[in-house]
Amino acid sequence: MTGDPTPRVRVHRPSGAAPRFDDAQPTTVVLVRHGETSMTVSRGYSGSSEPGPSLTEHGRRQAADAGELVCRVGHDLWGDIPFPSELICSPMIRTQETAGIIGDRIGLSPRIDEGFKEADFGAWQGLTAEQIESRWPGQLEPWHTEATVRPENGESIADVGVRVGAALDGLLAAGTDRTVVVVSHAVAIRAALGVTMGAQPGSWSQLRVAPASVSIIRLFHDRRHEIAVVGVPSEGWSRN
């Protein structure tokens, strides 16, 4: 299969879709987390204050699998969704590399949008959960479960939600009845999903966003948004 953007016949409001009683068309956003990095392996908090690290070799294979999965959108998977026509990534090296691999598969060049960068972990940057807990006892869990807790010189999850929400609003304002692929990060993607469904920021950490996983949201002007897919793993979806 090639990256031919001609989709199969699209189905209008398939069974199981969020109920609507009009013909409004959404902006569909396919959210892809970047592939594995050395920080993913070490379980360090890798935020937006440093550009690196790069993908590992395994991370590059994950990105290729993500490209295969994204290329099936509008073909044999999620047929009511248009084939992607735009590709966006955060400014971090790992997301640019992942987006480049996906773009080669679907025939699109990525552009950078700062709105989809990862949380700024401030003084926690590069540290593991155990190191953070040792140096700032009792602060890490509340950062995940309470809206306004901030690391020193960093962002709260609510801060990330405001930034990501504004970026999503920009995609919706730019036009509907289209699909945009956004390559981003775990916390930022959780924020995008949480903002879309109107959930409290303290619950966003309950969403699993694995490396190179795919989630899909559909944005409507009346803000009755839909979450279509959450956390589909990319590995194993390629077809030989």
Torsion-angle region of residue 211: left (phi > 0), alpha (psi -120 to 50) or beta?
beta
Q: Mean pLDDT across the stretch 60-66?
A: 96
Tell me how crowded residue 222 is: count the other CB atoms within 10 A of its CB.
8
Distance between start and end Cα atoms, the chain? 9
HEC assignment per residue over the chain: CCCCCCCCCCCCCCCCCCCCCCCCCCEEEEEEECCCEHHHHHCECCCCCCCCCCECHHHHHHHHHHHHHHHCECCCECCCCCCCCEEEECCCHHHHHHHHHHHHHHCCCCEECHHHCCCCCHHHCCCEHHHHHHHCCCCHHHHHHCCCCCCCCCCCHHHHHHHHHHHHHHHHHCCCCEEEEEEECHHHHHHHHHHHHCCCHHHHHHCCCCCCCEEEEEECCCCCCEEEEEEECCCCCCCC
| Amino acid 240: pLDDT | 46
d(CA 173, CA 156): 26
| Amino acid 25: pLDDT | 92
pLDDT tens across 195-213, in order?
999 999 999 999 999 999 9
pLDDT tens across 10-53, in order?
446 778 888 888 888 999 999 999 999 998 998 989 888 888 89
CB 95 within 8 A of CB 35: no
Residue 237, pLDDT above cutoff 80: no
The residues that are catalytic are 34, 118
d(CA 191, CA 199): 9
Q: Enter the pTM of the model.
A: 0.91
d(CA 106, CA 229): 20
pLDDT tens across 148-203, in order?
899 999 999 999 999 999 999 999 999 999 999 999 999 999 999 999 999 999 99
The amino acid at 62: Q
| Amino acid 122: pLDDT | 92
